[in-house]
Structure 1
Amino acid sequence: MFATRVFSRSMSTLTRVQTAKAPPAIGPYVQAIKVNGMVYTSGSLPAVPETGEIVQGGIVEQTHQCLTNMSEVLKEAGTGLNKVVKTTVFLKDMNDFVAMNEVYSKYFDQHQPARSCVQVARLPKDVAVEIECVASN
């Protein structure tokens, strides 16, 4: 949808990334920031962009939605999943790891970025998963 210059010092320019093809931020932050040839995404929740509602289903459906949303933000930033260098996956329950990993591997089959996966006490809107990434541009 649009990218807006936020801050510039020397050779570094921070550019906001925002698209209507992914859910809007639910707080004082943006979907992603571009700087120095890199894209840093905020955590992607499994919300349907058109409604803002959490996708129906369990960890499989929620992981698909998170990665679809993240992919749309990366596209808006001029990059894609094949340029992701690092992801962080936040799970509500580590027992969902295998099911999440099956879905994740479909999005990152040939290109496999570095990844961390942690269980957290609670996620926004009580979702089962949230995923963020860093990508080259």
Structure 2
Amino acid sequence: MIERIETGIAPSSAPINDAVRAGKHLWLVAIAEDPVSGEIVAGGIEEQTRRCLDNLQIALEAAGGTLRNLVMVQIFLVDSADAPGMNAVYREYLTVQPYPVRATVVVKELLAKKLRIEITATAVLD
């Protein structure tokens, strides 16, 4: 049984979810969209990474979890030069071992042209 987690971030009119749960497992996606305005945040990779991780945290909390529940993170960047800035912000949020497994991939582009980063993640809830 798959359950949609209501985070208040993804538009309810779109055929997408930003978090779903099946049992103790949670799958999430986060982009650099301000949950209040619905706009992509202004700024560079640091601001967009921070917004993605804040949105990921909001979704995890809506499901009863925290960043400590993450087991896998996939990061999609449009420019490999953004990796150091993304990593600096990522280190601010994920500070305790064991860290989740992570893959970082550089892609040609993301669907929303202003996006420099998109994050997907898997978590296991207690």
Shared topology, TM-score over 0.5?
A: yes
Higher alpha-carbon deviation: 28-37 or 101-110 = 28-37
What CA RMSD, in Å, does the superposition of the two structures yield over aligned residues?
A: 1.4
Match of 2:6 in 1: 18
| 1:51-100 superposed Cα distances (whole Å, 9 cap, x missing partner) | 11111100000000000001101111111101100000000001110110
Deviations for 1:21-62, whole angstroms, at most 9, x for unmatched residues?
Answer: x34378422111101211001x31101001111111000000
Counterpart Cα distance in 1 of 2:30 and 2:92: 17
Could you tell me how far 1:17 is from its partner in structure 2? 0.7
Give the corresponding residue for 1:8.
none
Q: Following superposition, which runs of at least 4 residues in structure 1 exceed 6 angstroms of deviation?
A: none
Assess if the C-alpha contact under 8 Å between 1:17 and 1:32 holds in 2: yes
Contact 1:23/1:69 (<8 A) preserved:
no
Give the counterpart letter for 2:102 in structure 1. R
Indicate whether 1:102 and 2:93 are aligned: no
Q: Which has the higher strand share?
A: 1
Aligned residues: 123
Is the Cα contact below 8 Å between 2:71 and 2:101 reproduced in 1?
Answer: yes
> What is the identity percentage for the equivalent residue pairs of Structure 1 and Structure 2?
33
> In terms of Rg, which structure is larger?
1
Q: Which runs of 5+ in 2 are unaligned?
A: none
Does residue 68 of structure 2 align to residue 82 of structure 1? yes
Letter in 2 for 1:122: E
